[in-house]
Chains A and B, each alone.
Chain A
Amino acid sequence: MKPIAVKDLCMSFGAVQVLHDVSFDVAAGECFGLVGESGSGKSTVLRCMSLLQGQWTGEVSIGGVRVRDMPLNDRCRMVQMVFQDPYGSLHPRHSVATVLSEPLKIHGLDRANERMAQAMIDVGLPVDFLDRFPHQLSGGQRQRVAIARALILEPDVVLLDEPTSALDVSVQAEILNLLSRLRTDKGFTYIMVSHDLSVVDHMCERFAVMQSGRIVEILPREAIPTNAARDPYARELIGASLAYERAV
């Protein structure tokens, strides 16, 4: 279990600054949420933390070590990411076994077959699904494969970018249960981007509300049902979610 600290993260695409001094801390083993409307920069924060985007300033450290100072392989073993769309994040012509064995090869890990089988069991898929291709899986099964790919390297931190927004509620429930169970079993620290506050309330202890590249407020989950936010935008966002859920 490793804590995360993000300090004064700034990021620009050309002349447009998309993140302004984003700072937050996540305790070891916590699930921290990032919410906000589309374009507010929540996914960009994750992409900066995992160095999928490199041209940012500020400081991101995991377990006290700056991500920029980590050798590439160490960083990848420590931080893994699950993306939104299970239809887009798996190679259509790679079987599940290929998808899962690639990180093992890169990192030179032994007992590949054993690890792959264990990863499949961990995410609740039959081991013989290793021979399948993405088009032979349902959306929920694909997202399980994407999660298996993230956890096969035994990371400390998993970055979840809207992991269930492309899925039906019934499948979402399965994936959320899986993520909760893996957090308890493996001691992951999660950062979860979502636009759905009921998912954030279910999963996260604390969450940050983002607007136009800034964190406007960091709130505990208990603030949602009573709408205890002080920032006007955060109040509006929580208010809209409550109104939407509670009937009009």
Chain B
Amino acid sequence: MTDPILDIENLSVRYRGATEPAVRGVSFSLGRERLGIVGESGSGKSTVGRAILRLLDSAEITADRMQFEDVDLLNASERQMLKVRGRRMSMILQDPKFSLNPIQRCGDQVAEAFRTHVRASKAEARAKVIEMLNAVQIRDPERVYQLYPHEVSGGMGQRIMIAMMLLTDPDLVIADEPTSALDVTVRLQVLNILDRLVHEHGIGLIMISHDLNLVRNFCDRVIIMYAGRVVETLAASDLDNAQHPYSRGLLAAQPRIGGSRGPLPVLERDDSWMQPEVRS
């Protein structure tokens, strides 16, 4: 792969007070592509995302290499990180209800995120925000700008989050379960908007999800994590041919429309899955 945006080798994260690391020996690199990280709750997928953004100040993070473009994430000072976070890499969180400030107008929050990183007058920022709200297909951006988060629906809130995160034109976006809190009818809309913007701006995307269907449709490559380790890395189109019993178990456990309706295959966990990955 030429020109990786992010290169991670042997990342381990141990939370303070924990005996076992939450993430161990995770390595991957990311170009201008869409990478999915899947696993069950507790598999360490969100921890990887947070470690990349250096949001875990109390955890012990070790790695052989953590390079984001020209920034060494392992040794960068907090001052440097402030310039990176939100500007060059940003994160879309799960639930807009909890990630937007409830007592600030939606538009003002987006503008604030922009003006933190880019020198611009209030009027310029406002114009940029309106343009971006348009780009995430909000029909009446002037009106939505004035609304408070409780006045917008979940799907609209998540589009506002996407607008906020993409406005500074980052190179890397980490989306942590971006649509789990949304209804299925709006889920696809939001994903398509995110997908189009990521494509147009040439952004590297890390999509963290428990939903195999989602990563199959919206990612190029998929990393499957179990108990803090990567058990398998494969192209999203090859997901049905996954080799690892854990990946296969996850796929089989998903009920399908028009499926057999017999008992669903249940995952039989195996201690050997704690071993490092199989590459395919």
**A interface, CB within 8 angstroms of B:** 37-38, 139, 168-174, 176-177, 180-181, 195-199, 201-202, 224-225, 236-237, 240-245, 247-248
Which residue in A180, A198, A224 is a CB contact (below 8 Å) of B254?
Answer: A198
How far does the alpha carbon of A199 sit from the alpha carbon of B185 in the complex, in Å?
16
B interface with A by C-beta (< 8 Å): 40-41, 154, 183-188, 192, 210, 212-214, 216-218, 249-250, 253-259, 261, 263-267
User: In the assembly, what is the distance between CA of A247 and CA of B257, in Å?
Assistant: 13
Report the separation of the CA atoms of residues A98 and B278 in the bound assembly, to the nearest whole angstrom: 46
- The reply to whether B264 and A198 form a contact with Cβ atoms under 8 Å apart is no
Residues of B within 8 A of A224 (CB): 257-258
A198-B255, A201-B258 given; A174·B185 CB < 8 A: no
Q: Are A201 and B257 in contact (CB under 8 A)?
A: yes
| Contact between B257 and A38, CB atoms less than 8 A apart | no
- B40/A168 in contact, CB under 8 A: yes
| Bound-state Cα–Cα, A171 to B42, Å | 13
Which residue of A168, A170, A180 contacts B266 across the interface (Cβ within 8 Å)? Answer: A170
Measured CB to CB, the closest approach of chain A to B254, in angstroms, equals: 5
If A225-B258, A245-B213, A247-B216 touch, whether A172 touches B253 (CB-CB below 8 Å) is yes
Contact A197 B188, beta carbon cutoff 8 Å: no
Residue pair B212, A198 in contact (C-beta under 8 Å): no
B250 and A197 form a contact (CB under 8 A) = no
Cβ–Cβ contact A237 & B185, under 8 A = yes
The answer to whether A248 and B188 touch across the interface, beta carbons within 8 angstroms, is yes
Given A37-B185, A170-B249, A241-B184, decide whether A197 and B210 contact each other with a Cβ distance below 8 A: no
- CB neighbours of B261 from chain A (8 A): 201-202
B259: chain A residues at CB < 8 Å are 198, 201-202
> Which B residue's beta carbon lies closest to that of A241?
B184
Would A240 and B185 count as touching, CB distance under 8 A?
yes
CB-based nearest B residue for A225: B258
Q: Is the CB of A244 within 8 A of B187?
A: yes
- Find out whether the CB atom of A202 lies under 8 angstroms from the CB atom of B264: yes
Q: A169-B254, A197-B184, A241-B184 are in contact. List 17 more A-B contacts (CB 8 A).
A: A37-B186, A168-B210, A170-B40, A171-B40, A172-B255, A177-B266, A198-B256, A201-B257, A202-B261, A202-B264, A224-B258, A237-B184, A244-B187, A244-B213, A244-B214, A245-B213, A248-B218
